[in-house]
Amino acid sequence: MDLSTYPHAIAMSAKEFVDWSTNVMDDIVKATGVKRALDKVSDPLMNWGVRNSMYPLHFGIACCALEMAACSGPRYDNERLGLVFRSSPRQCDVLLVNGWVTKKLRPSLRRLYEEMPEPKWVIAMGECAISGGPWYDSYNVVQGVDTFIPVDVYIPGCPPRPEALIDGFLRLHQKIKKSKIGTFMDD
């Protein structure tokens, strides 16, 4: 613990005091090994919670949206994975882009992505979202949604079967398992 980094405790403003006390707690917790012990509990727990309750946005563009709807049907049932479709982007984790994105739609889609709170992921479903698909020579179709939004999982197909969509979500689960969402205080 390097005490020279801390200003004199009496002359601090409220905000500075909060920052200072957080830093002191952080250092104590790390140095005594309490953080490692808490991380061993909170990280797997939060990771399990986040990946088993992903809320996609209720956003259907084109043909792949019908396969997304069929995936919510009784035969393929994606609700058993914890997927509940929400209408407002403020309540969502996952943006499922299913269909071709046109230049008129691009600003709206970028805004939807920015309205989603962290942590968030993007799945590009179908050939049109991955790279423009059959509309490779169109004057109005953006050739791939990853030109303006970072994509985590790509699901190929035209349209991909509902089983492929479930496989895509399971791959996203694998990706989330490897990331550290639930660490107790940032490193």
Q: Work out which of 6, 17, 136, 148 binds other proteins, going by CB under 8 A.
A: 136
Does position 113 interact with other proteins (CB under 8 A)? The reply is no
Could you give the CA distance from residue 187 to residue 176 in angstroms, rounded to a whole number?
18
CB of 107 to other proteins, least distance (A): 10
**Among the candidate windows 29-37, 45-53, 139-147, 179-187, which touches other proteins by CB under 8 A?**
139-147
Name the CA dihedral angle for 50, 51, 55, 61, rounded to a multiple of 10 degrees: 140
Maximum Cα–Cα distance for the chain, whole Å? 68
Does position 69 interact with other proteins (CB under 8 A)? The reply is yes
**CB-count exposure of residue 29 (10 Å: 0-12, 13-18, 19+):** middle
Provide the mask over 143-172, with x wherever binding to other proteins is found by CB under 8 A and - wherever it is not.
Answer: x--------------xx-x-----------
Question: Residue 70 contacts by C-beta under 8 Å, 6 or more apart in sequence?
Answer: 76, 162
Does position 186 interact with other proteins (CB under 8 A)? The reply is no
Nearer to other proteins, 70 or 81 (CB): 70
